[in-house]
Chains A and B, each alone.
Chain A
Amino acid sequence: MPHSTAIREDGAMLVDAGNENAHMETTEVTAAPVSEGNGESQESNGLDNDITMADVGVEGANIPQIKDEAKPDLKLEDLFADIDSDEEFPSSTGQDMKVAPSSPPETNFHVGPSSRASDPEVMRSFYQRLFPWRYLFQWLNHSPTPSKDFGHREFAFTLQNDAYLRYQSFPTFETLRKDVLRLMPSRFEIGPVYSTNPRDRKTLRKASAFKPIAKELCFDIDLTDYDDIRTCCDKANICNKCWQFITMAIKVIDVALRDDFGFKHIMWVYSGRRGAHAWVCDKKTRLMDDQKRRAIAGYLEVIKGGAQSDKRVNVKRPLHPHVARSLDTLKSHFQHDILQDQDPWETDEKFDRLIKLLPNQALKDALRKKWSSAPGRASKAKWADIDVLAKTTKGLDGQALLEAKQDIVLEYTYPRLDIEVSKKLNHLLKSPFVVHPGTGRVCVPIDTRNLNAFDPLAVPTVTELLADIDEWTESGEDSKDGKRIQDWEKTSLKPYVEYFRSFVLSLMKDEMGTTTKVKREQDDNGIEF
């Protein structure tokens, strides 16, 4: 069939993808590849949907508004689903940005009382003087010499006008820095390392040659997922009371990742407003396929269903060791942070939820009666009432009550993960140390050795940091022991950068240790390979 060759070659991708689907999902053989002509499986769909989007951006700075949720056909979700939900910044931000000159002079910008984080000059100074480019590079590169780990890594920029550029990549941190200063993105995200340079993906003859091969395992915890049980604040607001939810979450997840899975290099990062991200950076972890990521996500997931579900915790008895350990950790938080600080069952309609989760109709009725006649009775007292009234309830199954109470503790304290972030190798996540455009706070790493001391409201904002530098300059000193003092060292960003540096160092050490070991083994084995 001579003249069919071209079509067939063109169709070859389709053929493969179709089969792939058929094999993976025999249950839905006929249904799988309905996304007209695009039979790519979920995992790889970033690869061919980019045509409309990414191309737009590569050309330059004047990018039209492309965030158009009204056109479902484009499968926009695949591109935008990756955007961290933390970020609905006010529409006024960034709308009237001036286009920046392409290579800015070293500015000596001074921060006045009216300076804002979204001000391009503020951002420029931050990226120019404070952002820890070198450590970011080493973190992603795993070695001081530039390698594919960094060079084939996808970066995605969100520009001031909301345009979203995917598949950016850079050989070194200098080139990344340069582009950031040129485009002045309001933030940027980090994606996977690809099999080939993301910028070359269009020139490849076979689309399958371009695929994600490595990325840190990530977790995303956001306080908005707690809104149904958070009484102190709502929406974008947070305080130290509700931050305790994040603290609990970090404790529970971190110990599971370390003790159960044996991961070592775990970095938690404040997301800039009301949440935290985890980056698990061990080499073995980075190379995990989606199935393994899903397995971890499933292992850690305890809270299921939305706020409207009847029962969101369904755990087997006896409790799996991970759940039992988590419950142990969470119990004291429940007493203090939930019952006392959140007081979640204060009003009638709120204690309904509690009653719904308890067993035994007689007990429920008794509790309802008692609480209705004592408006405003504190949650702590209500929680104690349960056991008191249970004692006089006939035919009550003590074990069932105990389990119900355990489930309630879990529902109110167990980490609520945005699990989709963790399941996929090719998910993008906001880079550490970028500035949250709404709050102006820097996304700093959280030192888990001193987790309780972390105060999100004390995290420096970009304007504060620039003021720090100015203050320092007035005091004069510019070098110490013959070494020039870096700008970040002059600011309250210092402890965070130092923490990051030590994290990166220990990661690099492990990594370079393994590389040399592997090399030696290869030498010993001669041509065995």
Chain B
Amino acid sequence: MIKRDINRVDANRRTILNPARKQFATKAVEGEYTHRLNFYKDTPKGDITLEQFEQWAIDRLRVLAELEACQFRNKNSVETAAHMKPLLDKYLPLSASTLNSPSIQSERQKDHYSHFILRLAFSSTEDLRRRFARVETSLFRIRFQADDARERQSFVENMGLEWETVGDEEKMALSEELRAAGGGYPKRMEDESWFKVDWEKVPELVEGRRVFLKGGKAYVPGREQLGLVVPEFNSRLEKALEVTSRALPRLDEDDRLTPILNHLSQNFTTPDASYNSSTTSLHGADISARNVDGLSSSFPICMQHLHRSLRRDAHLKHYGRLQYTLFLKGIGLNLEECLVFWRTGFSKITDDQFNKEYRYNVRHAYGDVGGDGNRRGNGYSPFSCQKILMEHPPGPGEAHGCPYRHFSMDNLSALLQQVGVKDQEVLRGVKEDKEKQKFHLACNRVFDYVHKQEIKKVKDDGTWTSNQLETLVHPNEYFKRSYLLKNLDKVPKVEQGDVEMKG
């Protein structure tokens, strides 16, 4: 998608981003980046090509999408940092100042610019703004923690935060209180410095009585900086995004940027931007209308249930059709085949009725019709588990949703047995998961059970990495992994765990 738009405007032309109308200034001279970390206070002032504009944004988006997936998988900060390291090194490296690397300035420029480009892309709705701020804050936290102590200190001092350093005289006068509030730390007052901030800035420290309070001011020791800097980063970014969103309409004048920005934001609309709907890695798979029955044994139970309901009733209600259509699209069923699938599936109605009532919806989901935005974005993204769990719980007669969540235990158990999961221990586990509302664990438990032998094999062979066997959080991932495991002999190489933009 992006390529087409770029070609239209001559990719090699230098893009001048005018500050009067845009977020960028025309001045070509860029100041040196003295710090590795960036609070993104100043908007970029240099020129970049449209290609850079796009590529840098996509690279950052890969990182952010994966970071959000980590949050979704409930990784702790140490696990997240470890998981993100290779991706960060690849797409958004930031060398320490002490390394004197020749690429330091260009790395920092890319980090700086890509952040601002994504600000443009993600400021349009409140939901996007909140998610963007959250995931950027998380990125900042990882980097802040990885920074070496001296560089971090110098960065903090240059941030221009409204923190008043507690002077020596006051420090000595309050030494007893300050030390007591720090749980006896530090032994020698000279070993620590304190900031004075409004207590509202550090609610967590106040709540845990980890700071001394006086007259509404909290006395924060230097070692609690992270707790101060990170919320500050977050709140500033949220405010800045708010401002950007108000400035956004003016950007519409530029028909070169708008499509890119729209595309970027569409790829961030579900927490699983990490899911790659392209099926190139499923070589040789027969993804066709007539083969859906055969493939359905690799579907997660939510989709199997939709499939069985369709076959039983020759009909599905609206949300069921939507959930299933997008899933089928995600496994690589093309639009024509999908139309065939639904036409034959709805066997009790006439062609005329089908064309009038259903055809359009399927085409719309594929981005074949609809507004510019819809077509450019290839329609909707397949639903993630989160979306299925959270949105539109099924009503009477509706077959969509997540059976682990939306079915009673009896019905769920019956369904599982119908699809061949009869092991009492697995069923008991599912019951416990459901009671604890760990629906995705239940689903993964069933997956592991159904693919027990194959998983053992790839583990023993060492052909799959643990990344490739990570908790499933998307029905299409479920299918893809299931298919690959069941066709180990046919599919030579697997590309997983990497983020790709579709289009």
CA gap between A14 and B405 in the complex, in Å: 16
Interface status of B361 (Cβ within 8 A of chain A): yes
Interface status of A106 (Cβ within 8 A of chain B): no
A19/B203 in contact, CB under 8 A: no
The stretch from B126-134, B156-164, B251-259, B407-415 touching chain A is: B126-134
Beyond A295-B206, A316-B209, A321-B180, is A26–B74 a contact (Cβ under 8 Å)? yes
Interface status of B292 (Cβ within 8 A of chain A): no
Interface status of A260 (Cβ within 8 A of chain B): yes
A262/B215 in contact, CB under 8 A: yes
Partner of B207, one of A7, A36, A294: A294
When distances are taken between beta carbons in the complex, the residues of chain A under 8 Å from B204 are 295
A19/B207 in contact, CB under 8 A: no
When distances are taken between beta carbons in the complex, the residues of chain B under 8 Å from A297 are 207
Interface status of B391 (Cβ within 8 A of chain A): yes
Beyond A19-B127, A262-B215, is A37–B393 a contact (Cβ under 8 Å)? yes
On chain A, the number of residues with a Cβ less than 8 Å from chain B's Cβ atoms is 49
Give the shortest distance, in Å, between A7 (CB) and chain B (any CB): 7
* Interface footprint category on B: 35 or more
Q: Mark B174-195, 1 if CB is under 8 A from A, else 0.
A: 0001011101100000000000
CA gap between A28 and B73 in the complex, in Å: 10
CA gap between A7 and B215 in the complex, in Å: 52
Q: Chain A: interface secondary structure? A: helix
List residues 24-47 of chain A with CB under 8 A from any CB of chain B.
Answer: 26-34, 36-37, 39
A259/B271 in contact, CB under 8 A: no
List residues 428-444 of chain B with CB under 8 A from any CB of chain A.
Answer: 436-440
CA gap between A34 and B406 in the complex, in Å: 10
CA gap between A66 and B200 in the complex, in Å: 40
Interface status of A428 (Cβ within 8 A of chain B): no
Beyond A7-B392, A321-B181, is A30–B438 a contact (Cβ under 8 Å)? yes
CA gap between A7 and B200 in the complex, in Å: 41
B386/A22 in contact, CB under 8 A: yes
B392/A14 in contact, CB under 8 A: yes
B405/A30 in contact, CB under 8 A: yes
CA gap between A327 and B212 in the complex, in Å: 16
Interface status of B27 (Cβ within 8 A of chain A): no
Interface status of A261 (Cβ within 8 A of chain B): yes
CA gap between A15 and B270 in the complex, in Å: 12
Chain A residue at smallest Cβ distance from B204: A295
Beyond A22-B390, A318-B184, A321-B177, is A3–B318 a contact (Cβ under 8 Å)? yes
CA gap between A198 and B489 in the complex, in Å: 66
B216/A261 in contact, CB under 8 A: yes
B318/A7 in contact, CB under 8 A: yes
Q: Mark B383-399, 1 if CB is under 8 A from A, else 0.
A: 00110011111000000
A30/B203 in contact, CB under 8 A: no
Chain A residue at smallest Cβ distance from B361: A1
B134/A23 in contact, CB under 8 A: yes
Beyond A1-B364, A324-B180, is A30–B72 a contact (Cβ under 8 Å)? no
When distances are taken between beta carbons in the complex, the residues of chain B under 8 Å from A16 are 127
CA gap between A298 and B216 in the complex, in Å: 16
When distances are taken between beta carbons in the complex, the residues of chain A under 8 Å from B393 are 36-37
The 7 closest A-B pairs by CB, nearest first: A262-B216, A18-B390, A31-B437, A298-B207, A295-B203, A260-B213, A295-B207
Q: Which residues of B approach A to under 8 Å, CB–CB?
A: 71-72, 74, 127, 130-131, 134, 177, 179-181, 183-184, 199-200, 203-204, 206-209, 212-217, 271, 318-319, 322, 360-361, 364-365, 385-386, 389-393, 405, 436-440
A–B complex contacts, Cβ < 8 Å, 20 sampled = A4-B318, A15-B390, A18-B391, A19-B390, A23-B130, A26-B71, A27-B74, A30-B389, A30-B439, A36-B393, A260-B214, A260-B216, A295-B204, A295-B207, A299-B206, A299-B213, A316-B183, A317-B183, A318-B184, A320-B181
Besides A22-B72, A322-B209, A324-B180, 10 other A-B contacts (C-beta < 8 A) = A7-B318, A14-B391, A23-B131, A26-B72, A30-B385, A262-B216, A292-B203, A298-B209, A299-B207, A316-B183
